[in-house]
Chains A and B, each alone.
Chain A
């Protein structure tokens, strides 16, 4: 058995999610090889070679892969992937975008968003916004899988010494092009891997009021999140949405402020170790999952919390 892990990387650096995906691959068992595909991604490949448990790194560095266009990535990965028993990527927006194409090109199913490995062909995955967990078995010759990174402890970023091999390939489908990007810049930790997350909901009333939460986030070294309602209302950008259709987070501490706790929101954060809810409505469903609930007006409680930290 050999497993091909597609690395998450950005601006030449390997993203932490790759360590969780390698961890899932090790749970499947067998040789773990990592593909780094992109443009100017050599240093990410170097970093991947150092990751614990990786036996080989393949690097496909070409302008055709520069913007991670699914049309081009999928051609490459379907080609290379034929030689493996499993092809695995993180369930971030890049993996979700190109990996189903790979599965279709290989005429196999994709098993999305696994949270546990039962055996080399059997996996657990949440369905119905996490209200049920399905155990699924695949009879395909190649298993194509996306991994919910929060469900797997990362392997060590150092300690390995895999060989790096260059893949000479420029697969360009020629039917799509990158136009522009608006990438949020932040000095805070990344939402999906932060140890503390402070999230605001509709109760925040406007984007300006999110500054109150920023103060707390900065003091705690936390990432900032939001409910869908807060994003839809334009208080904060879409990359902050936590939930069934946003990001999945599982920090040590999740602080939900002015969030009611709809099932679609819980789907994204109920794996957190400790949950704090601040809400003025004592009946709010968020209190059913909160370890510590504070029934209070957030406009009084948040400044107090900020002052006390």
Chain B
């Protein structure tokens, strides 16, 4: 069984985000970039399925500028077998990402596609669902447990009310939530080995996908900031403030 994992290069989650003074976006010059945390979880899940003997091949794909090869290589070091980078310097919006991934799915014919549920830059939470719709696949979003069972995959999903488990006919799409697993770190020998693994370069044009962004970002602003308040001396003062000043209890 074959798994396709999609990974995205994003700002490292520890970096303090700064809005550009001209309000055109977020300042990414000289900022540390990394694999989106949810994508790391997706790669880890695929590797665990391979270690269990359920999966025989892991193909990892990313879309972005040439430097996104780093994130594909990292995935290879974590245990993926083969990489694909769809190279473009354009901004690729979620629907176009899904169309590009659909083209890869048609070529690779995976039984399972695993993606992160959202990327921590655009916070859209859309791509996996869009890919599933375009390919007619069922989806298990916000997964906290994935169990392959014959030609089905059972996915336990984190929902607002608790947990729900669905059974999906494969091929299927899974998007990862935080508690699916704890990703490992790549070891030095595996980082060396990853350099020799195949990494195919392709482009939207090669895949016959025309990028058609329909959303325009007019401006990006700082959120309204909260002022730090006061420190209270003890519980009695806290209750007094909540009752008589804030009037919230």
Beta-carbon contacts under 8 Å, B109-151 to A: 117-118, 120-134, 136-139, 141-142, 144
> B44 → chain A, closest Cβ, in Å?
15
Q: Is the CB of A93 within 8 A of B159?
A: yes
Residues on the B chain within 8 Å of A291, using CB: 229-230, 246
> Could you mark each residue 215-250 of chain A with 1 if its beta carbon is under 8 Å from any beta carbon of chain B, else 0?
000001000000010011000011100001101000
Shortest beta-carbon distance from A250 to chain B in Å = 12
Contact (Cβ within 8 A) B215 A109:
yes
Report the bound CA distance from A73 to B248 in whole Å. 40
Q: For the complex, is A173 an interface residue (Cβ under 8 Å from B)? A: yes
**Is B206 at the interface (CB under 8 A from chain A)?**
no
Q: Say whether B164 contacts A180, CB under 8 Å.
A: yes
Interface residues on A, range: 35 or more
The listed residue (A175, A290, A305) touching B229 by CB distance below 8 A is: A290
Min CB–CB distance B149 → chain A (angstroms) = 10
B138 touches which one: A104, A173, A252, A287 (CB < 8 A)? A173
B141 contact set on A, CB distance < 8 A: 70, 93, 96-97
A183 touches B161 (CB 8 A): yes
- Tell me, in angstroms, the Cα distance from A232 to B41 when the chains sit together: 14
Q: Are A274 and B248 in contact, CB atoms less than 8 angstroms apart?
A: yes
From A181, A220, A244, contact of B163 by CB (8 A): A181
CB neighbours (8 Å) of A275 from chain B are 226, 229
A interface residues, Cβ below 8 angstroms from B: 10, 67, 69-71, 74, 92-94, 96-105, 107-113, 122, 126-140, 173, 175-184, 192, 196, 220, 228, 231-232, 237-239, 244-245, 247, 252-253, 263-264, 270, 273-276, 282, 287-296, 301, 304-305, 308-309
Q: Can you give 14 contacting A-B residue pairs, CB < 8 Å?
A: A74-B133, A93-B159, A100-B128, A108-B95, A126-B123, A132-B221, A137-B218, A138-B214, A176-B166, A182-B164, A238-B144, A253-B246, A253-B248, A305-B239
